[in-house]
Amino acid sequence: MAPDATHAEQPIDSDDLEIAYIGGGSRQWAPNLIQDLALSEFDGHVRLYDTNQDAAETNAEFGNWVQDDPDATAEWSYEAVDDLDDALDGADAVILSTQYDPRDTFVHDLRIPKEYGIYGAVGATIGPGGIFRAMRTIPVFRRFAAAIRENCPDAWVFNYTNPVHFVTRALYDEYPDINALGLCHEVLGTRWHLAMLAEEELGMDAERADVEVNVKGINHFTWVDEARCKGVDLWPLLHELKDGERGSKRFTYDDLKDDSVFSDNWQVTWELFRRFGVLPAAGDRHLIEYATSFIADGQDSLNHWGVRRTDADYRAKHWTPAESKQTTNVEGWMEGEREFELESSGEEFLDILEGLTGDGPYVTNVNLPNSGQISDIEQGPVVETNAVVRDNQVKPVNAGGFPRPVRSMVQGHVDTIETIIEAARTGDVDLAFQGFSIDDQVQTLTPDESRDLFGELFAAETEFLDDWNTDDSEVLAKADTFDA
């Protein structure tokens, strides 16, 4: 069956775009977007909405400040608004980029599972931490979807919020006709890496845009079974490299202690390629949370495969611009304390927008409900494949299926995601625990341990889980770690 296209009833007016940015106080994505828009061929207006109004106002000030840069090619204006409906009213495009303060949430997602022997490297999209992030976020995104339905039903919605597969699915679960795309740069990183291999091993002059892949999977657990660079088949090269020195490196903690937590040594990637014959297309730090045998021995396993763990202390500091390399200190730029150079982020938002407004077709990876683009996964769950973007339409590409062992791994995570989505419709805590229980990381625990881990995480984050019905929960009543 051919996959269905996502399309809006009303075309976008490329001369005067109205963008609603939900999570407009963002410390990374919003400053990147502002610079991309300033260098674009579009003009328009951005309304920034955030529960942290001060942060949204700072980004609005920064956006208007960037417009005075001599390298700016477009005309944009920015304002911070304090009402969600006002932000969304009549928007052509909606950007979703939100998270709770990690000092109150994310640090628990990392610290508490570690006490039970679970050493997830990221804790943001799957595993006990990722599931609780989803449980915090899904109800909020259902409200966003309902507000979009009321205020801008034909808008194109770009979701960057993790866990991408959970929350993009929640948008469609609330509003099936929404035009929402889940976006992630992990596949882009794989294409960049393949371009680098083509340069180093084949002597080609290559960039990310020169690499074409057939990608399929779920976000952060995507797979490639075809790869070409400027028409050259890269598959023979990959098979050669996987068994050579490049594909067989091993590490210790001391080898990695000075590396960034985002360094990617591709050793998990090569091992999975050797095992299953298809190439993973996400960073190793994400892959190990889905293929959990790589973290069976905790910290030593992570380091052995060249992965550094993102710990709770890092996530807490990430929220503070002065202490984080990821968080952007826009005040420092505006006050002249840091040199500012207007530059592109390398993200694909504008490329997609150009395709939607008629400058296409454009092909890239997106997360959409499965309508046949992956042949051996049920229809409905959000999957990640390539899609063709053209005038007011996004059509996923038929990507085929998986080798049986890979399909089994992917399907298990789909079952976890779908169970949590179903539980969130009514706030059913016990059904959510069922989804939590079948997660690969959680299944390393005894039944009592998994129940107590669930209860301890719930207790630590109760204030962010108001939409869940704790009064009728049997699992929380039995958990020694949860005190109602």
Confidence of residue 15 (pLDDT cuts 50, 70, 90): confident
Three-class SS state of 369: strand
Confidence of residue 329 (pLDDT cuts 50, 70, 90): confident
Q: What is the DSSP letter of 104?
A: T
Q: What is the pTM of this model?
A: 0.94
Q: How many whole angstroms separate alpha carbon 172 and alpha carbon 141? A: 10
Three-class SS state of 147: helix
pLDDT above 50 for 35: yes
Average per-residue pLDDT in the chain? 92
Check residues 277 and 480 and name the one with the higher pLDDT. Answer: 277
Q: How many whole angstroms separate alpha carbon 465 and alpha carbon 484? A: 13
User: Taking residues 182-199, what's their average pLDDT?
Assistant: 95
pLDDT above 80 for 326: no
Q: How many whole angstroms separate alpha carbon 134 and alpha carbon 164? A: 9
Q: How many whole angstroms separate alpha carbon 179 and alpha carbon 247? A: 40
User: Taking residues 62-75, what's their average pLDDT?
Assistant: 94
Q: How many whole angstroms separate alpha carbon 162 and alpha carbon 125? A: 6
pLDDT above 70 for 423: yes
- Summarize pLDDT for 338-385 with one digit per residue, the tens: 899 999 988 889 999 999 998 879 999 999 999 999 999 999 999 999
Annotate 428-439 with b (16+ C-beta within 10 A) or e (fewer). Answer: bbebbbbbbbeb
DSSP secondary structure letters along 429-453: HHHHHHHHHTSTTGGGS-HHHHHHH
State the pairing for strand pair 382-390/393-396: antiparallel
Helix axes of 127-151 and 164-174: crossing angle, nearest 10 degrees: 30
Contacts 24+ apart (CB under 8 A), 342-347: 342/35, 342/38, 342/39, 342/66, 342/69, 342/71, 342/72, 343/35, 343/39, 344/35, 344/36, 344/39, 345/32, 345/33, 345/35, 345/36, 346/185, 346/188, 347/32, 347/33, 347/36, 347/183, 347/185
Confidence of residue 1 (pLDDT cuts 50, 70, 90): low
Check residues 156 and 252 and name the one with the higher pLDDT. Answer: 156
Q: How many whole angstroms separate alpha carbon 91 and alpha carbon 377? A: 34
DSSP secondary structure letters along 227-274: EEETTEE-HHHHHHHHTSGGG-----HHHHTTS-TT----HHHHHHHH
User: Taking residues 436-460, what's their average pLDDT?
Assistant: 96
Residue 300 pLDDT: 81
Q: Which residues are catalytic?
A: 185
Question: What is the percent of the chain where pLDDT is above 90?
Answer: 75
Domains of the chain from N-terminus onward: 12-102+122-184 (3.40.50.720), 185-308 (no CATH)
Phi, psi values for residue 391, rounded to 5°? -45, 105
Q: How many whole angstroms separate alpha carbon 71 and alpha carbon 43? A: 15
pLDDT above 80 for 108: yes
Q: How many whole angstroms separate alpha carbon 120 and alpha carbon 302? A: 9
- Summarize pLDDT for 251-265 with one digit per residue, the tens: 888 888 888 888 889
Q: Which two tokens stand for residue 251?
A: 């590490």
189 with 150: CB under 8 angstroms? no
